[in-house]
């Protein structure tokens, strides 16, 4: 089976732990269809966290309280993002972090809703480069000579970096089928419809 449609995504947050009340403040995504980035299928939205952004978060992602004041809340943005990502495999770097926030936020929105399966480019890198110790997005960009833009730590900038890293990982691992991707990335078996 060929590699399915992908939605590479990233979030920016007010902190590191959604279970301690930290919130999503930006979601970005791009579709990859048949191995090609589809620049016409992008998703980008600020999210009003309904709280003030801590100084540490502002320092990292450069998103201000003023920028979020008129933004929609997660109750609006998350359903829109999930509709955008429908019928695709989610992809994120350090996916446990991003997916953890989505899990908490979707529970706040409407309770139980199944999130799409999520591929982690960091885990895929660890599988393909088991003797290398550094697998951060910056380290992978350095390894693959991908320039880091000045707006690093904004959702769409990180989405585009993750998409380039994913392409390099698939090339390096000679991964051309979904079965090989499942095996190398540790994805669970999926039911064929």
pLDDT value at position 112? 59
Catalytic machinery residues:
153
The ranges assigned to domains in the chain are: 6-184
pLDDT value at position 1? 83
Full-model pTM: 0.94
pLDDT value at position 154? 97
pLDDT value at position 192? 42
Alpha carbons 125 and 139: distance in angstroms, whole number? 11
Separation in Å, CA 111 to CA 89, 99, 103, 105, 107: 21, 15, 10, 9, 4
> Which regions of the chain are under pLDDT 70?
110-113, 189-193
* Superfamily of segment(s) 6-184: Ribonuclease H-like superfamily/Ribonuclease H (3.30.420.10)
pLDDT value at position 191? 41
Residue identified by tokens 């926030």 is: 101
């Amino acid at each position: 089976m060929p590699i399915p449609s992908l939605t590479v995504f990233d979030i920016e947050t007010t902190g590191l732990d959604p279970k301690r009340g930290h919130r999503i403040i930006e979601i970005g995504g791009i579709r990859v269809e048949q191995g090609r980035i589809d620049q016409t299928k992008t998703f980008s939205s600020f999210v009003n966290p309904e709280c003030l952004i801590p100084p540490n978060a502002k320092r990292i992602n450069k998103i201000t309280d003023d920028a979020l004041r008129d933004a929609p809340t997660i109750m609006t943005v998350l359903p829109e993002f999930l509709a955008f990502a429908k019928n695709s495999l989610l992809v994120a770097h350090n996916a446990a972090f991003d997916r953890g926030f989505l899990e908490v936020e979707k529970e706040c929105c409407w309770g139980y809703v199944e999130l799409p399966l999520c591929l982690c480019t960091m885990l895929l890198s660890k599988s393909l480069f088991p003797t290398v110790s550094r697998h951060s997005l910056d380290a992978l960009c350095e390894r693959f000579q991908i320039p880091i833009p000045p707006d690093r730590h904004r959702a769409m900038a990180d989405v585009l970096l993750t998409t380039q890293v994913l392409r390099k990982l698939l090339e390096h691992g000679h991964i051309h089928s979904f079965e090989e991707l499942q095996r190398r990335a540790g994805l669970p078996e999926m039911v064929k419809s």
